[in-house]
Amino acid sequence: MSRAIAAAAVLAFALTACGSGDSGGGGQAAESRTLTYWMYQDRTPQAGEVVEKIRKDFEKANPGVTVKIVKIPKDDFNTKLGSAISSKTGPDVSTLDQPLVSKYAKDGTIVELPAGTVSEGTYFKGAYDTNLGTDGKYYGLPLDQTGVALFYNKKLVPTPPTTWDEMKAASEKVHAADPNVAGMVVPKGDGYGGWMFPGIVAGNGLEMADVASKKILFDQPQAVEALQLWVDLLKSSPRKITDSDQPFQNGLAGMMISGPWDVPTIREQFPELDFSVAPLPYKTEPAGNIGGENAVVYKTSPNQDLAWKWLTFITNETNNGPLADALGGFPVHTKATAVGSGPEHEAFLAQLKVAHARPAVPEWIQINDEIIAPAIESALLGKMTAQEALTDAANKTRSLLGWNS
């Protein structure tokens, strides 16, 4: 009898020690846990040093825990991640491009952010909302954010416009003074212009869609006015000028909309250009678009609790500033200190505080590239009115999604 009891005790202990089947990871002893985190390959050696310091600090704060970081070139990341997920060999937690969060949430690949993990207001709303699923729940945390703002040539546009009317007036003044100079580099109807467009629409008080109610909204008057703004700007910003090589950088355009990645390039390659950056002009309220990376936890992970602990650590007030800079973006934590300074830096920080997330629709990239972008271009080329172009695009989107309104 004593041997049977002893055998049972040994078996019970063994089962307890290797109880990794618990989806929350609670069955594993904390002192021997390994967390696997996939992320993009480091942009620079200095960026790698930032990530390594954060990893060591986390391990120090959690004795016995090892964080295994796997770095993958960005261009290969989604393909390798998809293959790993299909073969059930994926990581516990990983970086994920913003538009993919709603897709992975819908198909059950990633898990919902547990209630109470973060406090309300921890992250900027636009960045936080990029983690929404179609069900209105959050499925990840933001790592960094970026967006676009208004670049202006201080010689041609001494005072940056803050409203749509001021922007049109500034553009007209520049072109009237010299017909060989465009007032502005107007975005085109391509994927990049389509990414910018929701931020312009939000500046007129409208979202592109109401996902909860399954309603497409970008054929409404506020969105039509936003597209008409770009159409009107073309009158003082002919493409025969703006289609030239780097027109803003070469002094052939007074303004352009672009991101922080252009600031150091212009400073280095066009040192004589006196320019600065300001938040996007708006009609009814300050707003803009958003890009960047999020991080999510996978359903197959046996370490989900530890994964969320890792994500809250790397995005906390202390770590998020250096991490976001290492990733090439701006902080998402409202109390984090951004790396960098200067008027251009401050303009992007102000812009991102009022950024709006894209609709949490898994098909949104397809909608952006194949439906909205061509609609924008049709209006800009004069093939359709702004209203006609967006009405047609909205109807195509409703058909694609199976929405009735």
Sheet containing 66-72: which strands, arranged edge to edge? Answer: 66-72, 34-40, 93-97, 291-297, 141-146
Residues 320, 199 share a domain: no
User: Does residue 18 belong to any structural domain of this protein?
Assistant: no
**Which of 59, 80, 58 lies closest to 323, judged by CA?**
58
Q: What residues does 297 pair with on adjacent strands? A: 93
In this predicted model, what pLDDT tens digit does every residue of 337-386 receive, in sequence order? 999 888 999 999 999 999 999 999 999 999 999 999 999 999 999 999 99
User: Does residue 219 belong to any structural domain of this protein?
Assistant: yes
User: Does residue 321 belong to any structural domain of this protein?
Assistant: yes
Strands 93-97 and 141-146: unpaired
Residues 307, 285 share a domain: no
Q: The tokens 């709303």 sit on which residue?
A: 125
pLDDT band at 155 (very low <50, low <70, confident <90, very high): very high
Residues 396, 276 share a domain: yes
**Which of 137, 219, 138, 203 lies closest to 164, judged by CA?**
203
Looking at per-residue confidence, does 25 or 376 come out higher?
376
Total domains, the chain: 2
Residues 191, 86 share a domain: no
How much is the pLDDT for 340? 85
Instruction: State which residues form the domain around 102.
Output: 25-145+293-352
User: Does residue 167 belong to any structural domain of this protein?
Assistant: yes
DSSP H stretches of helix in 62-130: 74-86, 100-106, 125-129
Angstrom distance (rounded) from CA 169 to CA 191: 27
- Range 214-229 average pLDDT: 98
Residues 339, 240 share a domain: no
pTM (two decimals): 0.89
Show which of 312, 329, 352 is a domain's final residue: 352
User: Does residue 358 belong to any structural domain of this protein?
Assistant: no
Residues 277, 128 share a domain: no
User: Does residue 168 belong to any structural domain of this protein?
Assistant: yes
In this predicted model, what pLDDT tens digit does every residue of 238-275 receive, in sequence order? 999 999 999 999 999 999 999 999 999 999 999 999 99
Query: In Å, what is the CA distance from 336 to each residue of 17, 93, 116, 123, 261?
Result: 39, 23, 20, 9, 21
User: Does residue 11 belong to any structural domain of this protein?
Assistant: no
3-class secondary structure, 24: coil
Residue 52 belongs to domain with CATH number: 3.40.190.10
**Which of 102, 74, 15 lies closest to 296, judged by CA?**
102
- Range 291-311 average pLDDT: 97
Residues 276, 339 share a domain: no
**Which of 294, 368, 317 lies closest to 40, judged by CA?**
294
- Range 390-398 average pLDDT: 98
Q: The tokens 């704060």 sit on which residue?
A: 61
Residues 298, 279 share a domain: no
Residues 376, 256 share a domain: yes
Residues 39, 135 share a domain: yes
User: Does residue 13 belong to any structural domain of this protein?
Assistant: no
In this predicted model, what pLDDT tens digit does every residue of 248-257 receive, in sequence order? 999 999 999 9
Residues 29, 176 share a domain: no
Residues 161, 196 share a domain: yes
Query: In Å, what is the CA distance from 379 to each residue of 53, 189, 190, 207?
Result: 50, 9, 12, 20
Please give the full DSSP string across 369-388, using - where no structure is assigned: IIIIHHHHHHHHTTSS-HHH
Examine the pLDDT at 12 and tell me if it is beyond 90.
no
Angstrom distance (rounded) from CA 299 to CA 166: 50
